[in-house]
């Protein structure tokens, strides 16, 4: 099957209480699950290549299988074009990909085996006060509290 389609997932609530919904490109699977084509901008806890099951009643999802990719979100107050030009080739050299680019946002996917310290060093060298920007992991911390590590990478990085 592996048919390209779009689903909508609940991404949070605005200050006024209304829902934020993100449209994501996915590959539909024969078992009614979906594989993410790109890491999301707003939906937390998932990344490119992850397999999910959609709950259509409330636009939530169940994570079925992780791809091993980290989702990295970069936000800027001004035009982000220079950051994209600086970061994209560096991520690509490490096997990462630019999934989303708009005037204030970049979203990268990169396999966790590239190493947190190397990824964070790259980001901290380019993102920060000087560029009026900030970066965040999209699928490393518990979406409920934003600080508790999910630790899904422990088994992936375990020596064989």
In the chain, what are the domains?
Answer: 3-65 (no CATH), 69-137 (3.30.70.330)
Asked whether the beta carbons of 71 and 47 are under 8 A apart, the reply is yes
Strands (E), 42-144: 51-55, 60-65, 69-76, 97-102, 105-111, 133-137
H or E stretch at 48: none
Distance CA 66, CA 64 (A): 7
Distance CA 48, CA 70 (A): 8
Residues 6+ apart with CB under 8 A from 53: 32, 33, 34, 61, 62, 64
Supply the pLDDT for residue 1.
63
Supply the pLDDT for residue 105.
98
**pTM to 2 decimals?**
0.95
pLDDT per residue, tens digit, the chain (160 aa), is 688 999 999 999 999 999 999 999 999 999 999 999 999 999 999 999 999 999 989 999 999 999 999 999 999 999 999 999 999 999 999 999 999 999 999 999 999 999 999 999 999 999 999 999 999 999 999 999 999 999 999 999 998 7
């Amino acid at each position: 099957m592996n048919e390209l389609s779009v689903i909508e997932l609940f991404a949070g609530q605005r200050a006024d209480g209304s829902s934020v919904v993100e449209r994501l490109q996915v590959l539909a699977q024969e078992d009614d699950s979906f594989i993410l084509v790109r890491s999301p901008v707003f939906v937390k806890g998932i990344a490119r290549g992850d397999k999910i099951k959609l709950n259509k009643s409330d636009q939530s999802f169940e994570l079925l299988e992780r791809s091993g990719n980290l989702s990295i979100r970069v936000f800027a107050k001004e035009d982000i074009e220079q950051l994209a030009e600086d970061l994209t080739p560096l991520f690509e050299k490490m096997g990462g990909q630019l999934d989303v680019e708009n005037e204030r946002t970049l979203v990268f996917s990169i396999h966790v085996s590239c190493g947190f310290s190397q990824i964070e060093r790259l980001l901290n060298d380019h993102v920060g006060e000087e560029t009026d920007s900030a970066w965040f992991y999209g699928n490393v911390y518990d979406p409920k509290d934003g600080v508790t590590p999910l630790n899904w990478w422990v088994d992936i990085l375990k020596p064989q």
